[in-house]
Structure formats: C-alpha cells, structure tokens
Amino acid sequence: MRLKGKVALITGGAHGVAGEMMGIGGAAAGMFAREGAAVAIADLNMEATQRTVAEIEQNGGRALAVPLDVTDETQWVAALKQVTAELGTPTVLVNNAGIAELADVEETTVEMWDRHQAVMSRGVWLGTKHVVAGMRQTGGGSIVNVSSIHAITGTPTLAAYHAAKGAVRSFTKMAAIQYAPQGIRVNSLHPGYTLTPMTQPGFEDPVIGPLVMSRIPMARLARPEEIAAGMLFLASDESSYMTGAELVIDGGVTAQ
C-alpha cells in the first residue's frame, strides 16, 4: 500500500486492461490502484478509459474516468473539479499524455510542431498550474512529468517530439525549485523505447524497428509496467528527498 490515502490523477492513461497491450499511463493506473491510491484517469479515449476503470473497480480499487484534452485550460479546471468532488484533492499528478510523429527538421510542419508543443509542453504546464493549489492546501504532493530519453539524446527524426520533451525536462526543474518550499515535489521520468499502442506501428516498421533495437544495450523494448514502476516510486513517499530529478529507465540507451 505504497500510495495509501493518496488521490492520483494520470493523463493519457486509457489503455490499462490486463491481457491487452497497455500504455504506460494505463499500466500506472492499475499499479497505483493496487498500491492504495484512488485513481483518476484522464484521456480523450473515453471508451478505453472506462474499460480500464471498470477493471480497477472489479479488482477492488477506486477509479474515475475523466474526459480531458490536456491542451485546453478550461477542461483542466473542469477535470480537477470533478476529481476533487468524487475522489478528493489530487496529491499526485502524472503528466503522461503525449503524441509522437516521425519527421525530421525539414519534414516537420508548423501544425505538427505546434501540436507537439500543445499536448506535451503546454499540457504539462497547465496540469502543474492547476493542481498545485490543492496540493498546497493538503500539505504537499508529487508531480511526475513524463519526458523522454529524447530530451537527453538525439535522433535523426522526431524533431517536434524532441523539442516538446526537452521543454518538459527543463520546465520540471523550474517548477521543482518554485514549489519545493511548499512540500510539492516535481520530477521528470525519461522512458526509453517502450512497446505501447502508440509506439507499436513504428517498432513494427521494417526499417525503424531494427534501427531502434540496435540502439538498446539490453536488446529489448521496455514493458509499460517497467516504466510505470518508476512513476510509482516518484509518486510515493519513498522518493521524498527527490525533486527536480531525472529518472531514466531506458535499457542503457543513454549510457552510450
């Protein structure tokens, strides 16, 4: 019961049904619930979110499906109002929602660039902006911002993704310094190559797949639950002396 008594809001957590391919956020939702948290899963895909919530409840946990476009400030306000009314004030926020489109610098369009910045950079900022008031009132909390190894290392593609995840990495450190005196910890998580519904098409590509595998010293993709375990650690009191830190879970990619 590492999260007993905590209310956690996870964005981008729709895919979390056992026996199916999970997303990182979905895997975290189930894991958090098993560890005692009441979990609000915020996503645009409400059908998948409801299925994940139903499984958590069938297993004896507490969960809530919340419709949320993380780029929209009005929706953030409404989502937090709903979560607080039905589960309580969130003391854990996992900013996990993300997108990824393959394109190098010259292939990237303005629309693609803005879309990545909106979902990840703006989404992380908005979530942080609106959750801290409640955390402050309850005596503190933990914010986990999902960045990427691509905020640390470079690749020849994913230009907009690199920029957005780099913004998440830098913003995390700023927010950590601002909110440390208020008992609110802010850390970034940097997953490596992980098999999820979002990444599967790229990893199955006959050109991209072998290239990705050649970069991983451990010679395999991460499982979503392996990344979710890092989220759990950062959300829990076990990481109580960590803020502004980067937790990398990547099979050795950034060690090279």
Of the listed 161, 179, 193, 241, which one is catalytic? Answer: 161
Among 95, 9, 81, 12, CA closest to 46: 12
161 is catalytic: yes
Which residues are known catalytic residues? 161
